[in-house]
Structure 1
Amino acid sequence: MIKIFKYLFIFLIVNFTFYILHSDVFAKDFSSFYKVTYEFDKNGDSEVTQEISLINQVSNLYVSQYSLSLIGGEISHVEAYDKIGPIKTKIEQKGETTILTLDFNEKVVGKDKILSFILKYKDTGLAKKEGNLWQISIPKLANWQDIDEFQVLIKVPLEYGKISVINPNPLENKTSGGFYNLSFKKENLINFGVAATFGQYQTFNFKIGYQLKNQTGSATIESVAIPPDTNYQTVYFESIIPEPKDVKVDEDGNWLAFYEVPPNEELMIEAKGKVDIFPSPKNSEKNPTPNKDFLSSTKYWEANNQKIIELSSKLKTPENIYKFVVKTLSYDFQDIKNRTLRTGSIAALENPEASTCSQFTDLFIALCRASGIPTREVVGYAYTDNQQIKQIAEESDLLHSWPEYFDTIRNTWIAVDPTWGNTTGGLDYFNKFDMAHFAFVIHGKNDILPLPPGASLDEKQKRINITFGEDVPKSFQQKVNIEEVTPSIVYSLKSNKLKILFKNNTGIALNSEKVESPLSVIIPNQWYFERILPFSQFEIEFSLKPKEMFKDYTQELTFSFGEDKIKYNIKVKSLLLRSAAFLGGILSAAIIVLLSSIKKNSCKPKDKDVIVQEDSRGQ
């Protein structure tokens, strides 16, 4: 029995936090007002400006010192000043934390008196380029109860690309001076900071290994699930070695590559290519309404369990179920190293502290299905910059799972990730998705099959390699070949039924494809295909009635796929010529028989008496 392990990649958005310390005073003795500006340059470095005002609420206290702790990043070019001039600043490094301490020039005493100052520094840790995308992370607001007003302005160069995701939504989003100007206030930053992604899509390079084994004494047809196009991704295969005999799609949308495996042998397969990941569903994907299979109870999605039914009756909606799962379960990082087995939704409820992505996903699916909401599981890769997870991923293949529910209003599958909603400290992975999730397989009708890549391989052998790709045009020369023509010979004077088997060797799915033939002797001469999978076979049928009747010849069949043309020569044999030859043969045979009969009759004697007389003379 093959065991499937699924693990989480954690995407840490918040990488440092403000800490405000007042010497000799309590925060309640002062009102505080902040205006913080982050201005990014084309290299990802940011200049941070904090304009701060502290207002005395008592008459006998003053602020002598201000301290700020910054976790992560490289802090430089620190300067601070007030109305008197430069403020003495102390910079202290403790591990990854930079502590800035300001000693004020003046002692502002008296109720309602205001101490205003400005702190500036450069930080290289807030923005980074990852593949096609720029990712910006602004820290959340700590000690927010002690701050009366807090405004944030984030200035991002337009050359970073189109805004893809901003979490939370800005109060204002204006464009001026070559920058996006994004405004936030205190209430936006209490629970978490700002996470923004710029760029239309993310590109990953992939190289994935598969293994098929045949332990029988005869050849078998086996399949592996290769990464499919989905609502959120488009796949470009550069090669699959060896090339599959055919590729078919199942009811969940998985792409299954079929191979003939010789008896008592194993077959190693390598798929190589690129994938573009999008933050929201593509309009090009067709989404028929799911059937009852996506509501059924299974081994890991116990939708019929009484406890699940009772919970679902209270939660009812996908969003409520998402929030419940995020709040109830706790991610156990130790389980990644221990390779804990998948336990299912009920076990997740009974032991919420020992959860990985499988438990988060299984519980969400079970609760949704019990509420009558079609749901399914997606298993694949998810990018993380968490160093602990990265180290494990470098040594072995780690997979991540997340659920999708069917939105009947938008008529599409919507991806959510309650695991990341839990591990990122509250970032919203229900209303917004990212471009870090790369789907390998989809489980809807079955909670295990098809197996994802790596499931049937030696656990110690790494066979999944994912890296950031470049934002370059994907140019694929369309290669559609004729595999087989049946029959191989046709005849004139009749309508011949033909089948032609084609194969798409392009490496990408061909969508809304029309096949045409300019020949009037072919009926019909147009065929439409909603989707032709990469390396898949497809078939057309038509009638061919050759015009030439008096000779054997070769008929050139021509088919066009867009701007490409495919030609095939088929032998045409004349029935008229063969009929004439046949009739000529029959006529010749008849004449020969007739002539033979005439010749035979001419050689017979006229009467018997003559013969007697001749015989008498001879004696």
Structure 2
Amino acid sequence: MRTWIFTIVLFLFSLFFSVPRIFAVSEFTTTLRAQYTVDARGNTHVKQEIRIVNNISTIYVTQYSFDVGSTTLQNVRVIGKDGAALPTSVTTTGGNTHIALHFPDKVVGKDKERIFIIEYDHPDIAVVAGNVLEVDIPSLVKPDQFQTYSAVLQVPASFGDPVRVEPSTYIPKHTDQTYEMTFNQAYKGVHVLFGTKQIYRFQLRYHVSNPSISPGVSQVALPPDTNYQKIQYTAIQPKPDSIEKDKDGNWIATFTVGGQKEMDITAEGYATVFLEPTTQVPSGRPDKAYTQPQKYWETQDPEIQKLAKQLKTPQAIYNYVAKTLSYSYERLNQQTQSRFGAVEALKRPTEALCQEFTDTFIALARAAGIPARELNGFAYTANPRLRPLSLVADVLHAWPEYYDAEKQQWIQVDPTWGNTTGGVNFFTLLDLNHIVFAIHGVLSEKPYPAGMYKIAGKEEKDVLVQVDRGVPQDDIHVSLETDVRLPSEFGVFSQTDLLVRNLTGSAWYDIPVDIAVSQGLSLEKGTQKSIPILLPYQVEKARIIIGPSLVFTQNTGKVEASVGDTTTSYETTVGRNLLPLALGIGAVILAGAAGGVLVLKRRR
């Protein structure tokens, strides 16, 4: 997280001499009131009013300096209580801006106060992206220098009420034009999020090849729906042979590639990311595979086992990983980055990248009996130092998720960003910046996410993602075909497979199949009246079983099936006319019974 470092140079004053020395903070009472005014574009004007009160009559302040964790500050100025500019020097070094000022006058005497105001424009405090405003007010490195500290955030009222605020205690103030929040003693910084969803537009390219002389099959992982995101494809070229969902929830697209041929696959569309997990996407309760060891997730290692027994909960594991590992910007800049795994990451805690934070969380969670898995994908960031991206090629970020048995939900967390932002809580609520490309649970390395399907000589950028403000309207639209199976010679029922082809780039869930039959026909047990999931461009079957409405009859009638706004119909003949046979059998039985009666009568 961005931080402020304050330095005060103090002098001893007497009638005879002035000698500099170091004094305790208690010799002054210092108050800081910082106001952050954010406009509709995310530009932030910072105004810091600082009051320094002398607690001892012979000590006063002659200089003051502080550092801001950014090198892009603009329009820095410092004024005194009277509005006059104070001598100020501004330098940048080591990623920080250093502001130093000198006081030309002397404020001497107990309870005397010096008031001055520091103003500047800060481009990194707030980010407006699409439908979302995100604000990060920095923490104070030396909070004990300030006896009183308040941070006031003011944003346009058009952003609405915040959906995530840390710390949660603040004083709100509404006007027609602005929304204001006052935080008292917020020494650890402030994080505020406005907006419940974010929309991204993406273009992904996959490069596959078939070295065999015969046609072959290639599979790629397309970004799937999760309980945090909804995907809508506008184009997949060429069209896949099929799209299937694997155990982890990945969408696996299959393509036929000619012998000794290469194929470039392009997937374009929109991703809508939600702040809170939804229940729309069915996931099911994870089985024991999600607590088992895998490569890089060494759950049986003695140290991992020991830590898991101590930590026990997802929250404790997250806190431990975020605080124990340190993000290595130096290693990030290396050309090659090998994956450590959890055990090696704990041995080299200062060399971690996002993959190490993720692997360590998963290994500890699984060792504690908590189902956990890895997410690979894209993470939108306006400040790569605070929220770094560190995987190779175009796959930019990795983060874990764990299964909450009480909520029956997978919960995404990001200990990497929890570390690099200096403590912003990415456990309770993630954010709107993470897009999942691939899910690793059954295996720790596959399927490969978008950005890792490369061919020698085609080292180009294959992941393009940008914020958008809207997504095209999309309603379920299908085509229907029927495969009618006539009843066997002695059969009574007809069975029909209704082939439902999704013509859209979205997945649909719990889709009703409405079936109507004409008089004389009836729907039989085993008829499928809904489709649990229909993936983009996928074909699913719904079985329809028709029988006669009355026994011993044979009927021909019409069956009408509807899915969404599409309807199809067909004729079918069901049942057997068994009435003549039944009458004949009945006559024989009656004749036999009558003959028996006559015989009995003659014997009398």
TM range (shorter): 0.7 to 0.9
- The aligned runs of 1:51-70 (5 Å cut-off) are 51-70=49-68
Structure 1 position 454, deviation (Å) = 3.1
Q: Per-residue displacement from partner, 1:277-302 (whole Å, max 9, x unpaired)?
A: 12221232334321111111122211
Distance 1:159 1:243, change over 3 A: same
Q: Per-residue displacement from partner, 1:170-193 (whole Å, max 9, x unpaired)?
A: 43344345433222233x324xx3
Q: 2:360 aligns with which of 345, 363, 369?
A: 363
Cα separation, 2, equivalents of 1:383 and 1:90:
40
Q: Does 1:561 align with 2:557?
A: no
Q: Per-residue displacement from partner, 1:384-406 (whole Å, max 9, x unpaired)?
A: 33468999999941332111111
Distance 1:208 1:252, change over 3 A: same
Which residue of 2 is the match for residue 536 of structure 1?
A: 538
Distance 1:97 1:302, change over 3 A: closer
Distance 1:155 1:511, change over 3 A: same
Local SS of the residue matching 1:338: coil
Which residue of 1 is the match for residue 382 of structure 2?
A: 385
Q: Does 1:419 align with 2:416?
A: yes
Which residue of 2 is the match for residue 160 of structure 1?
A: 159
Cα separation, 2, equivalents of 1:117 and 1:503:
70
Local SS of the residue matching 2:268: strand
366-375 vs 62-71, greater mean Cα deviation: 62-71
Cα separation, 2, equivalents of 1:139 and 1:267:
48
Which residue of 2 is the match for residue 474 of structure 1?
A: 472
Local SS of the residue matching 2:537: coil
Which residue of 1 is the match for residue 230 of structure 2?
A: 234
Which residue of 2 is the match for residue 19 of structure 1?
A: 6
Which residue of 1 is the match for residue 579 of structure 2?
A: none
95-104 vs 286-295, greater mean Cα deviation: 95-104
Cα separation, 1, equivalents of 2:158 and 2:260:
57
Distance 1:397 1:100, change over 3 A: closer
Local SS of the residue matching 1:378: strand
Structure 1 position 252, deviation (Å) = 1.2
Structure 1 position 433, deviation (Å) = 0.8
Which residue of 2 is the match for residue 141 of structure 1?
A: 140
- The aligned runs of 1:322-471 (5 Å cut-off) are 322-336=318-332, 337-386=334-383, 396-458=393-455, 461-471=459-469
Q: Does 1:253 align with 2:252?
A: no
Instruction: Check the 8 A contact 1:489/1:571 in 2, yes or no.
Output: no
Cα separation, 2, equivalents of 1:429 and 1:574:
61
Cα separation, 2, equivalents of 1:296 and 1:509:
30
Cα separation, 1, equivalents of 2:390 and 2:463:
9
Which residue of 2 is the match for residue 612 of structure 1?
A: none
Cα separation, 2, equivalents of 1:197 and 1:47:
18
Alignment-mate amino acid for residue 499 of structure 1: D
Q: Per-residue displacement from partner, 1:111-162 (whole Å, max 9, x unpaired)?
A: 2233334445554543232233222222221332222111111122221244
Distance 1:490 1:161, change over 3 A: farther
Q: Per-residue displacement from partner, 1:36-73 (whole Å, max 9, x unpaired)?
A: 22222333333433333222121112234444544444
Cα separation, 1, equivalents of 2:216 and 2:364:
39
Q: 1:503 aligns with which of 501, 504, 507?
A: 501
Instruction: Check the 8 A contact 1:498/1:542 in 2, yes or no.
Output: yes
Q: Per-residue displacement from partner, 1:396-455 (whole Å, max 9, x unpaired)?
A: 413321111111222211111122222222322222211111111111121122222233
Q: 2:276 aligns with which of 277, 280, 286?
A: 280
Instruction: Check the 8 A contact 1:483/1:502 in 2, yes or no.
Output: yes
Local SS of the residue matching 2:252: strand
Sequence identity percentage? 31
- The aligned runs of 1:148-227 (5 Å cut-off) are 148-186=147-185, 188-190=186-188, 193-216=189-212, 218-227=214-223
Which residue of 2 is the match for residue 115 of structure 1?
A: 114
Alignment-mate amino acid for residue 425 of structure 1: G
Structure 1 position 523, deviation (Å) = 2.4
Which of 1 and 2 has higher RCO (CA within 8 Å, sep 6+)? 1
Local SS of the residue matching 1:24: strand
4+ runs of 1 displaced by more than 6 Å?
388-395, 488-491, 571-576
TM-score by length of 1: 0.79
Structure 1 position 361, deviation (Å) = 1.3
Alignment-mate amino acid for residue 51 of structure 1: E
Which residue of 1 is the match for residue 584 of structure 2?
A: none
Distance 1:72 1:519, change over 3 A: farther
Which residue of 1 is the match for residue 597 of structure 2?
A: none
Cα separation, 1, equivalents of 2:283 and 2:400:
16
Distance 1:350 1:62, change over 3 A: closer
Which residue of 1 is the match for residue 33 of structure 2?
A: 35
Q: 2:292 aligns with which of 285, 291, 296?
A: 296
Instruction: Check the 8 A contact 2:50/2:117 in 1, yes or no.
Output: yes
Structure 1 position 275, deviation (Å) = 0.2
Distance 1:388 1:323, change over 3 A: closer
Distance 1:389 1:147, change over 3 A: closer
Aligned length: 552
Structure 1 position 487, deviation (Å) = 4.6
Cα separation, 2, equivalents of 1:391 and 1:118:
33
Instruction: Check the 8 A contact 2:221/2:449 in 1, yes or no.
Output: yes
Instruction: Check the 8 A contact 1:213/1:261 in 2, yes or no.
Output: yes
Instruction: Check the 8 A contact 1:204/1:466 in 2, yes or no.
Output: no
Instruction: Check the 8 A contact 1:375/1:444 in 2, yes or no.
Output: yes
